[in-house]
Structure 1
Amino acid sequence: MRPDSLVMAAPEGSLRKRKVGGAEHSPASQPSLARDPADSPARLHTGTFWLTRIVLLRALAFIYFVAFLVAFNQNKALIGDRGLLPCKLYLKNVQEYFQGSTGWAAWTYAPTIMWLLDWSDMNFNLDLIALLGLGISSFVLVTGCANMILMTALWALYMSLVNVGQIWYSFGWESQLLETGFLGIFLSPLWTLSRLPKNTPTSQIVLWGFRWLIFRIMLGAGLIKVRGDKCWLDLTCMDFHYETQPVPNPIAYYLHRSPWWFHRFETLSNHFVELLVPFFLFLGRRMRILHGVLQILFQVILIISGNLSFLNWLTIVPSLACFDDAALGFLFPSGPQGLKKQVLEIQREDTQRVQPKPRDRGCLVRQVVNISLGILVAWLSVPVVINLLSSRQIMNTSFNPLRIVNTYGAFGSVTKERTEVILQGTVSPNASAPDAVWEDYEFKCKPGDPWRQPCLISPYHYRLDWLMWFAAFQTYEQNEWILHLAGKLLAGDSEALALLAVNPFEGRTPPRWIRGEHYRYKFSLPGGQHATQGKWWIRKRIGPYFPPLRLEDLKEYFKTREWPLPEPPSRHTR
């Protein structure tokens, strides 16, 4: 065998590297991608984000899908033509506020495509928006393909719902989805639906937009806690959280009984993840990946321990921007036609290219757009940063009508006891009669029947159940919609009843009277007396929440608020 053949047959690791000017160089004349031992496929380079974009877009599409599914199933009963807070009435009030105009002022106050639609059938409009959102998000989720047009459509459709959703859409995750979705527009190519558009690499500005978002979410949540309820400083908040959170799940039942030291550890861990870990973003690739891992694990723990809508699922999305292709490659198969192989080819071409690839006009326009986005986000972040630094920090607030850059926070205060409003009805002619039998309505997920197991629904969300939690530590005068709900139950309204799990008058005459009762709830002790009886909750009556009401008692109340009066049941059914 010739000597050069011996060299060619030798293992790569046995080749001695030559030193030129003190630097080591391999014999290869061209740089190449690193290879695993034993002829395994080449590894992905660090620093590119082709696969990251696909994962981000699919994750965002999943959240959109859930959000539009919730909207399709619930919006008609909540904000439809005969909903608890009709959006048509809300838009009319906005019009009146601006002297009957639907001009620029009205659009900026409530940006929604509803201004362009026919208001004669709002249920149709709400369903149309939700179905369009479901269709587009399903396409992006399944295929991983998206462009700026599709992502803009998703953002505009959901913004249109949020801005007419009133109190039902008044929570931080709505603005967070809109901000995340806005960044998702610029993550995508303009026209093409290719998953790997070679002429549109993932913008570093957009990636840093996502990282800036997760930084503000977590730091805002941490600061609002230490500035808010003192139990976050004395490490006792987790003694109460699992029992008093809006919609507990079965796992929260057991976590609530954890040892005191475990609750202290949880609180300290929360402070670490929310107050210190966000700064890992600025400490290089490895620390950024560590940040992403810790944040995702933290959100998974929150998902397991409570039904917090799609909030925690959504918070995972910007955390994905912490990972490059090399970190996310394990999510993709290594087949010859797979995405990982295609990314390897793109990286190989970039590595072997001697001269920079010439930029066409489209690339220059895209660069201008990305820089403009960065300037816009920086400008809109000024009041947000001022709020973060303020001792009077407010959470879940938007400083612009499009909700592009917002403030965030969660559980700045933790309630120490759980109270619930239980709606009850009776067919008795006399509500105050001692023999009147009052029967409970059951909601989809919120605590009611002490024997009913807590539900597990995240990322899905029951908006009425969530608002009932707030109503329980307020008054019915502060929540007028609850009397609207009572009136609909008196009339046996099918849309309102669809929001509930159990109608005790199913197949019977609707009740003559409805009342609200106020109860204090506590978890039963696992293995204790009540638990052995099958009870998950122990409840004790506090007193009336609102007095017994008949449908005729509510006529004037409905009239002054321009709510359509529910049609009473036929007299012969009485």
Structure 2
Amino acid sequence: MNFSFLRRCRLLTCANTPFLTYTIKCALTCQPSDQSKMAAAMDHETSGIRKRKQPAGSSGGEVTEPDSRPKDHSDTDGPNASKDRGQSVDLEPNSYWLTRIVFLRSLAFIYLTAFLVALHQNKQLMGRDGLLPTRLYLDRIKNYVGGEVNVQALSFAPTILWFVDVEGAVDYWLDALAYAGVALSGFVLVLGSANMVVMVMLWLLYHSLVSVGQRWYSFGWESQLLETGFLAIFMCPLLSLRQYPRRTPTPWVTLWGYRWLIFRIMIGAGLIKIRGDQCWRDLTCMNYHYETQPVPNPISYYLHQTPEAMHKFETLSNHFVELVVPIFILIPWRPTMLLAGGIQIFFQVVLIISGNLSFLNWLTILPSLCCFDDRSLAWLFPGWLSGAKATVRQIQREDRDGTGPQATIGVYVRRVLHISLALLIAYLSIPVVSNLLSTRQAMNTSFDPLRLVNTYGAFGSITKERTEVIFEGTYATNPKDPSAVWLEYEFICKPGNVTRRPCLISPYHYRLDWLMWFAAFQSYESNPWLVHLAGKFLYNDEGMTSLIAHNPFQNGNPPRFVRALHYRYQYTKIGSKQSQEGAWWTRKFLKSYLPPVSLESLESYIRSQSWDLPKYAKRKLREQRRAKKGRSG
């Protein structure tokens, strides 16, 4: 028998006689391993014994007496509460401290993705030598408004770049804005909190890029990120970076602002479909969507080949989620909001799985998070993060008991600010609601220059056939020679080589690939940047090569001629001969898209657009002219 084990019972003699009886029995009959477990339990029990001073004149210094006060394991000590207590915390509904942490981290992740896209692609797309240079865009606006940077110019393009040197250092500033955005969004992502200053800076940085992005930033998710980021400014305290700023709980105006946002996003998307393509009404749109969406992923290939009955179910489900479920988000009853928010998030996850739609669906999850309170999100904070739940529980108890911090002048100032924000949202929503009710509904439209409250929508019409523009180059001196060998340029994600597996990149986004999808059902005359792209291929521009997967002329001389052909693409059938040979697509030649062009033939057009030719391109032109004179001589 383990007598040292029995000696541990001495302190419990007065405090808990039944417990002592049980431990003696265990010491006599249990296995040594069980005695060890019991000893650990007794150590925990003796931690409740407290010491008190003996009366004056007593022989000893201190004696112990049992702590007869009742234990309240919900009485946590804040973030340092023990794990076992934190796991038992049951949070009350209708508080949003944890919601704010989850939301800000999620928004920071989207911001980080967007700024990384800008960092890796913006110089090539809209830098000094970009396909659509920023300096030319700002010059056109400046000339239109009278030749100076005034309020009208800022309303056309609200960007920091008005106040820096875009003529000589636009690439530096595009990178600087992107790097600053990456740093700030990474900071918020790690910290899980932010203040108004940080969120204003993130919003201004991204707004500055979107405002000069031209066609590269013409998508609905850019305005959606700006609106989401603007509301997030008012979700945070002014200066504090604490996760639980006691005097600044998550404001109701932002919670309802985000619920209003997800309502507009989904209702707008649903109405534009019902009013748009007939296939949405006869439930056949999903027969085409997976194959013809801008940038399919590998899962799209398999989803396309599910039975037609499944496609009809998908279309019906889409209408239900976009037209019916949003109504329940605006009902101020917790069960309906939780259900509606959960359905919306699940729907967005399905869309993320089914295609590469940039960070659109990731971003659309964010406002739905505001349907969930701390109790419903507590599972996201496991045992090792139990201090978060314990802290929120203590805040809830203080609020219930009226022992929290007293209101200060700052609290009343914030209330006025929140009321003003609510009135602003209501005012700016008037044209948005009018647009939703109109039979001529416009999608992805902003009615104010700062894009604070916008209208949204997606896939109002569905293309029934997928066509692709394929660029090719040749060394041949005569592009019409039937024996000329043409080599294809391969883009990173858009379909090209029929045996290449579709990419999986969401939430990242290749803007050039996305614009190539639009170009395929337009003409090159409607897209001057396509001609500029062909010109850059003609002198092996390093920037453009970094935006594509394969330049067949990268390690040698640039091609003499470049052309673009128009193809129709279709998925192979699972189990077909082509799929067994490794082909994901079949393609059929339709027509010439851009006739063969040389650098010399494009020179005058490039100069007419005020696009710069780098020195090595000019040197290439001189060499071609000398060679041409030699042949004619």
What TM-score, normalized to structure 1?
0.92
Cα distance in 2 for residues equivalent to 1:33 and 1:46? 16
Equivalent position of 1:194 in the other structure: 242
The answer to whether the aligner puts 1:51 opposite 2:98 as a matched pair is: yes
The offset of 1:505, in angstroms, is 1.0
Letter in 2 for 1:525: K
Cα distance in 1 for residues equivalent to 2:605 and 2:144? 22
The offset of 1:565, in angstroms, is 2.4
Contact 2:540/2:554 (<8 A) preserved: no
Equivalent position of 1:12 in the other structure: none
Cα distance in 1 for residues equivalent to 2:165 and 2:526? 31
The superposition leaves residues 374-425 of structure 1 with CA deviations (integer Å, 9 ceiling, x where unpaired) of 1001100000000001110000000000000000000000000000000000
Q: Say which of 111, 132, 141 aligns to 1:64.
A: 111
Q: Say which of 138, 149, 155 aligns to 1:108.
A: 155
The offset of 1:572, in angstroms, is 7.1
Tell me, which stretches of 5 or more residues in structure 2 are unaligned?
Answer: 1-15, 17-71, 77-83, 628-633
Q: Say which of 379, 399, 420 aligns to 1:330.
A: 379
- The higher radius of gyration belongs to 2
Cα distance in 2 for residues equivalent to 1:334 and 1:412? 46
Equivalent position of 1:309 in the other structure: 358
The offset of 1:358, in angstroms, is 3.6
Contact 1:334/1:341 (<8 A) preserved: no
Equivalent position of 1:403 in the other structure: 451
Q: Counterparts in 2 of 1:206-355, with a 5 A limit?
A: 206-283=254-331, 284-334=333-383, 338-353=387-402
Equivalent position of 2:30 in the other structure: none
Cα distance in 1 for residues equivalent to 2:274 and 2:193? 42
The alignment yields a C-alpha RMSD, in angstroms, of 2.0
Q: How many residues align?
A: 544
The offset of 1:442, in angstroms, is 0.3
The offset of 1:506, in angstroms, is 2.2
The offset of 1:336, in angstroms, is 8.2
Q: Counterparts in 2 of 1:501-520, with a 5 A limit?
A: 501-520=549-568
Cα distance in 2 for residues equivalent to 1:572 and 1:380? 59
Contact 2:540/2:558 (<8 A) preserved: yes
Cα distance in 1 for residues equivalent to 2:242 and 2:298? 43
Contact 2:89/2:390 (<8 A) preserved: no
Letter in 2 for 1:425: G
Cα distance in 2 for residues equivalent to 1:48 and 1:177? 25
Secondary structure of residue in 2 paired with 1:543 = strand
Cα distance in 1 for residues equivalent to 2:542 and 2:234? 43
Q: Say which of 542, 545, 565 aligns to 1:494.
A: 542
Contact 2:246/2:405 (<8 A) preserved: no
The offset of 1:333, in angstroms, is 2.9
Aligned CA distance change for structure 1 residues 556 and 572 (closer, same or farther; 3 Å) = closer
Cα distance in 2 for residues equivalent to 1:560 and 1:372? 49
Aligned CA distance change for structure 1 residues 523 and 457 (closer, same or farther; 3 Å) = same
Letter in 1 for 2:370: A
Cα distance in 2 for residues equivalent to 1:144 and 1:220? 31
Letter in 2 for 1:309: S
Equivalent position of 1:162 in the other structure: 210
Cα distance in 2 for residues equivalent to 1:297 and 1:333? 22
Cα distance in 2 for residues equivalent to 1:351 and 1:397? 44
Equivalent position of 1:96 in the other structure: 143
Cα distance in 1 for residues equivalent to 2:199 and 2:552? 44
Cα distance in 1 for residues equivalent to 2:103 and 2:414? 20
The offset of 1:131, in angstroms, is 0.1
Letter in 2 for 1:130: A
Aligned CA distance change for structure 1 residues 99 and 379 (closer, same or farther; 3 Å) = same
The offset of 1:101, in angstroms, is 1.3
The offset of 1:143, in angstroms, is 1.0
Letter in 1 for 2:118: A
Q: Say which of 591, 596, 606 aligns to 1:543.
A: 591
The offset of 1:42, in angstroms, is 2.8
Equivalent position of 1:28 in the other structure: none
The superposition leaves residues 202-235 of structure 1 with CA deviations (integer Å, 9 ceiling, x where unpaired) of 1001100000000000000000000000100000
The answer to whether the aligner puts 1:552 opposite 2:600 as a matched pair is: yes
The offset of 1:443, in angstroms, is 0.4
Cα distance in 2 for residues equivalent to 1:199 and 1:476? 58
The offset of 1:199, in angstroms, is 0.7
Cα distance in 2 for residues equivalent to 1:559 and 1:403? 34
The answer to whether the aligner puts 1:140 opposite 2:188 as a matched pair is: yes
Letter in 2 for 1:87: T
Letter in 1 for 2:381: F
Cα distance in 2 for residues equivalent to 1:32 and 1:202? 27
The superposition leaves residues 457-477 of structure 1 with CA deviations (integer Å, 9 ceiling, x where unpaired) of 000000000000000000000
Letter in 1 for 2:205: L
The superposition leaves residues 225-272 of structure 1 with CA deviations (integer Å, 9 ceiling, x where unpaired) of 000001000000000000000000000001000001000000000000
Contact 1:425/1:512 (<8 A) preserved: yes
Contact 1:44/1:326 (<8 A) preserved: yes
Equivalent position of 2:88 in the other structure: 41
Secondary structure of residue in 1 paired with 2:445 = coil
Percent identity, aligned pairs only?
Answer: 57
Equivalent position of 2:506 in the other structure: 458
Contact 1:214/1:318 (<8 A) preserved: yes
Contact 2:569/2:586 (<8 A) preserved: yes
Cα distance in 2 for residues equivalent to 1:169 and 1:337? 41
The offset of 1:339, in angstroms, is 1.2
Cα distance in 2 for residues equivalent to 1:34 and 1:204? 27
Tell me, which stretches of 5 or more residues in structure 1 are unaligned?
Answer: 6-30
The offset of 1:34, in angstroms, is 12
Cα distance in 2 for residues equivalent to 1:258 and 1:142? 41
Cα distance in 2 for residues equivalent to 1:337 and 1:293? 24
Contact 2:134/2:213 (<8 A) preserved: yes
Cα distance in 1 for residues equivalent to 2:482 and 2:434? 59
Letter in 1 for 2:94: G
Cα distance in 2 for residues equivalent to 1:304 and 1:405? 28
The offset of 1:118, in angstroms, is 1.5
What TM-score, normalized to structure 2?
0.84
Q: Say which of 577, 595, 602 aligns to 1:529.
A: 577
The offset of 1:559, in angstroms, is 1.4
Contact 1:34/1:42 (<8 A) preserved: no
The superposition leaves residues 10-37 of structure 1 with CA deviations (integer Å, 9 ceiling, x where unpaired) of xxxxxxxxxxxxxxxxxxxxx99799xx
The superposition leaves residues 296-320 of structure 1 with CA deviations (integer Å, 9 ceiling, x where unpaired) of 1000000000000000000001110
Equivalent position of 1:377 in the other structure: 425
Q: Say which of 526, 549, 568 aligns to 1:478.
A: 526
Cα distance in 1 for residues equivalent to 2:73 and 2:151? 57
Secondary structure of residue in 2 paired with 1:557 = helix
Equivalent position of 1:9 in the other structure: none
Secondary structure of residue in 1 paired with 2:455 = coil
The offset of 1:357, in angstroms, is 5.6
Equivalent position of 2:473 in the other structure: 425
Cα distance in 2 for residues equivalent to 1:391 and 1:33? 56
Aligned CA distance change for structure 1 residues 270 and 312 (closer, same or farther; 3 Å) = same
The offset of 1:68, in angstroms, is 0.1
Cα distance in 2 for residues equivalent to 1:128 and 1:357? 41
Secondary structure of residue in 1 paired with 2:98 = helix
Letter in 2 for 1:303: I
Equivalent position of 2:125 in the other structure: 78
The answer to whether the aligner puts 1:181 opposite 2:181 as a matched pair is: no
Contact 2:291/2:300 (<8 A) preserved: yes
